[in-house]
Amino acid sequence: MADTQTDGYWYDERSERERAREVLESLRLYRAAERAMRRRTRDEMSMGENELLALRFLFRQPDHCAQPAALVAYLGISPAATSVLIDRLERSGHVERETDAGGHPISVRATAHADQDVRHTLGRMHELMYAVAAGMDAQAQANVSDFLRAMADAVDGVEPAAGAPQS
């Protein structure tokens, strides 16, 4: 007869630390898959990371429109670099600049072309991701959401180590 104290029948043999390590490894695998997906998306759309981030930011704004200063703050790049980025997106037809009477930019708006391009490129992936999330029961969805928010808070709360190079 099996020893129920050691065969795992009555309890999970893995320690709390092992289970936590498995969760973190799963998160690392997801992040690696997401980075690869973003690289493929950038290649397919012939854009850099900041261009995609700018479009994502604009799509979350009312009327898909924001002031250039909001993009500067969101992207964490200089106003000059943001202007160059907007120039590239404007040339590719992904954004339009709205200017005041003096020709100074007052807002940047994502175009319908940008929306179609992003939907075409990312639509299938978003459908698959949605199906995974929708296939979970309500408690599992709540647990995953709570976990990911807590992880984001944990990562956002970490200051660079003393003497670490600043990027």
Nearest one of 67, 63, 74 to 100, comparing CA atoms: 67
What's the angle, vertex CA 46, arms to CA 41 and CA 50, rounded to 5? 75
CA distance 85 to 158: 29
For tokens 């695998």, the residue is 29
At residue 99, the pLDDT reads: 85
Low-confidence ranges of the chain (pLDDT < 50): 4
Identify the pLDDT of residue 89. 95
Name the phi and psi angles at 6, rounded to 5. -125, -10
Are 55 and 94 in contact, with CB atoms under 8 Å apart? Answer: yes
Rounded to whole angstroms, how far apart are CA atoms 8 and 54?
51
**Tell me, what's the pLDDT at 74?**
95
> Which tokens belong to 53?
């981030």
Alpha carbons 41 and 39: distance in angstroms, whole number: 5
pLDDT at 97: 93
What is the rounded CA–CA span in Å between residue 95 and residue 78? Answer: 19
- For 126-149, give the DSSP string: HHHHHHHHHTS-HHHHHHHHHHHH
**Closest to 87 measured CA to CA, from 64, 68, 65:** 68
CATH, range 47-139:
1.10.10.10
Question: pLDDT digit string (tens) for 110-121?
Answer: 999 999 988 888
pLDDT of residue 50: 92
Which residue is associated with the tokens 């981030």? 53
Terminal Cα-to-Cα distance of the chain (whole angstroms): 61
